Amino acid sequence: MTRRARLLLCVLAAACLLPACLHVALHMPPFGAHPLPYGEAINALATRQRHVTNMVSAVNFDYRGLDTLGEEFMLLGAVTGTAVLLRGSRGEQLTARPGRVGNRPVAPRSDAVVLICRALAALTVLFGVYVVLHAMTTPGGGFQGGAIIAAATALIFLGEGYRGWRRIMRTGLLDAAEGGGAALYALCGFAAMAAGWPFLHNFLPLGTPRDVFSGGLMQIENAGVGFAVAGGFAVLFVEFLEETRAERDGDGA
Amino acid sequence: MSILIAALLLLAAATGSGVALTRTPRRQVMAMAVNGLVLALLFMVLQAPDVAFSELAVGTVALPLLFLAALASVRMDRRSDRARDGG
């Protein structure tokens, strides 16, 4: 396609799209206004019905708990797919040498990086656990906390180098956390069914509002999501960073 | 709309354009991390701290790390490749 034809196509497409874009832009609700009744209803009802003060968790784990189960298995599928794609023995050994890019030198870590990463990684894990545990009372939850914990493992890699990092990252445990977390969520649903309620019905005692352990079944689902997300992201990191190691003989096939 | 939100929206637009206009993949990853950081701040100011946590952990740590690992792996010297290319 010539430059002229492309330009013509671009102008034509813009002429078709522009009126629609302008129409939407001019009829949008003002900034900050939310005319949807669903949020108002949840805000009014959730604390009374489910004894939690974090409405997002109430929606994610209870009112629309099935959606979160779907997302859980999307994550599991994505991580499994990545692990299958990047299978192979490269980097599996703790002593694997770093791969070389041209003649670029592999720089050693400075002491400052090691010190900062050791201090920050511990604090970040702590903060991640805090965010997971306080899912029912304050903003955050299993996904956010799990992602924060996984981010801490990236800090450990930065501070300890590949060998020390792989010694800490027990891949068997991470796989178990990823799969077990998703299974725990699904089992919560089946447990409700076994007891005669609908799937994912919140049948556990709901506890006192504003208490860390309020929310009943949501607590267990939230823990499942936390394990699955922390394990899933950590597995991704291991799989990707294994690819930055040098090949041994026979790895290339 | 407060000045803070306006400033962050402008920053998000600027860093977003920065991602689109950066040509080197390695620099683009860094530009993307900066854009993620600005978005996390924007979510925080718009009173969505839980979304900000996710954006911070995924957009500025996980995604750039995976991209950097992938870039390093693509550009790495492979013995099998070299043997195949006769180099």
Tens of pLDDT, residue by residue over B30-69, are 999 999 999 999 999 999 999 999 999 999 999 999 999 9
| Contact yes or no for A252 and B80 at CB 8 A | yes
A154 at interface of B, judged by CB pairs closer than 8 A: yes
Residue with tokens 């919140």: A202
Domain ranges of chain A: 67-81+109-248
Taking CA atoms, what residue in B is nearest to A155?
A: B61
Q: Residue A98: beta bridge partners?
A: A245
A63 at interface of B, judged by CB pairs closer than 8 A: no
Dump pLDDT digits (tens) for A129-145.
999 999 999 999 999 99
Q: What is the ipTM of this complex?
A: 0.87
Q: In which domain, by residue range, is B78 found?
A: 3-85
Tokens of A61: 């784990």
Whole-structure pTM value = 0.89
CB neighbour list of residue A104: distance below 8 Å, 6 or more residues apart: none
Please tell me the predicted confidence (pLDDT) of residue A138. 92
Tell me the C-alpha distance between A117 and A156, whole Å: 6
**How many independent structural domains does chain B possess?**
1
pLDDT class of A248 with cuts at 50, 70, 90:
confident
Taking CA atoms, what residue in B is nearest to A233?
A: B62
B75 at interface of A, judged by CB pairs closer than 8 A: yes
Chain B residues with beta carbon closer than 8 angstroms to that of A241: 69
Tokens of A77: 């599928």
Q: Is residue B83's pLDDT more than 70?
A: no
CB-defined contacts A:B, below 8 A: 77
| Contact yes or no for B62 and A147 at CB 8 A | yes
| Contact yes or no for A31 and B66 at CB 8 A | no
| Contact yes or no for A32 and B66 at CB 8 A | no
